[in-house]
Homo-oligomer: A and B are copies of this chain.
Amino acid sequence: MYSMRSIGSVKSPYSKTRNIPKGLGAKHEAEGVLEILPEFEAGLTDIEGFSHLFVLWLFDCSQGFALLGTPPSDNRPHGVFATRSPRRPNPIGLTVVELLRRDGPRLHVRAVDTLDGTPILDIKPYLSSVAPEQLRRGWLAEAEARKGQG
């Protein structure tokens, strides 16, 4: 077992899980703030040069885990490691956000998809992308195709 601590929290417009856009075609355009604890502020040095960041955070409202689950974007079950389900063996969430500006220990970002008050575990620079033509999206592409047919 390994111990993790919060380095700050997300200020987001979503106070309830049901308000967060989910499922096929969900758009994440909400703006929010990553509020980093003062003791970690020096760790943000030079972060303003990056357009996009990975944010690792904690599904702190999630209880236990399920190895199979049916996500909001499909009507069929899939393995937890093939989905973004919150009910994971280690309840770590991962979001790519666009960094709009930095204000000391506060990072103003776009594309927040977490609840207000979500604990942040880590922030990393987003350095490279997989070329779109190389990306296969498994059951999600199939669910989208079925929806398109329906």
User: Is A51 a contact of B134 with CB atoms below 8 Å?
Assistant: yes
List residues of A whose CB falls within 8 A of some B CB: 1-7, 36, 40, 42-52, 54, 56, 58, 60, 67-68, 77-84, 88-90, 92, 94, 96, 119, 121-132, 134-142
26 pairs, CB–CB < 8 Å, chain A vs chain B: A1-B3, A2-B119, A4-B4, A4-B90, A5-B90, A43-B68, A43-B80, A45-B78, A46-B82, A47-B79, A47-B81, A49-B136, A49-B142, A50-B137, A51-B130, A51-B135, A52-B134, A52-B135, A56-B92, A88-B122, A89-B122, A90-B121, A96-B130, A125-B137, A125-B140, A129-B131
User: Is B51 a contact of A136 with CB atoms below 8 Å?
Assistant: yes
Task: Give the number of copies in the complex.
Answer: 2
User: Is B136 a contact of A121 with CB atoms below 8 Å?
Assistant: no
Point out the residues of chain B lying under 8 angstroms from A132, CB to CB.
129
User: Is A84 a contact of B46 with CB atoms below 8 Å?
Assistant: no
User: Is A46 a contact of B139 with CB atoms below 8 Å?
Assistant: yes
Q: Which 10 pairs, one residue from A and one from B, show the smallest C-beta to C-beta distance?
A: A49-B138, A45-B79, A129-B129, A51-B136, A42-B67, A43-B67, A81-B123, A47-B82, A43-B80, A50-B138
Point out the residues of chain B lying under 8 angstroms from A2, CB to CB.
3-6, 58, 60, 119, 121
Report Cα–Cα, A46/B5, bound state, in Å.
Answer: 32
Point out the residues of chain B lying under 8 angstroms from A80, CB to CB.
43
User: Is B45 a contact of A82 with CB atoms below 8 Å?
Assistant: yes
Report Cα–Cα, A54/B56, bound state, in Å.
Answer: 12
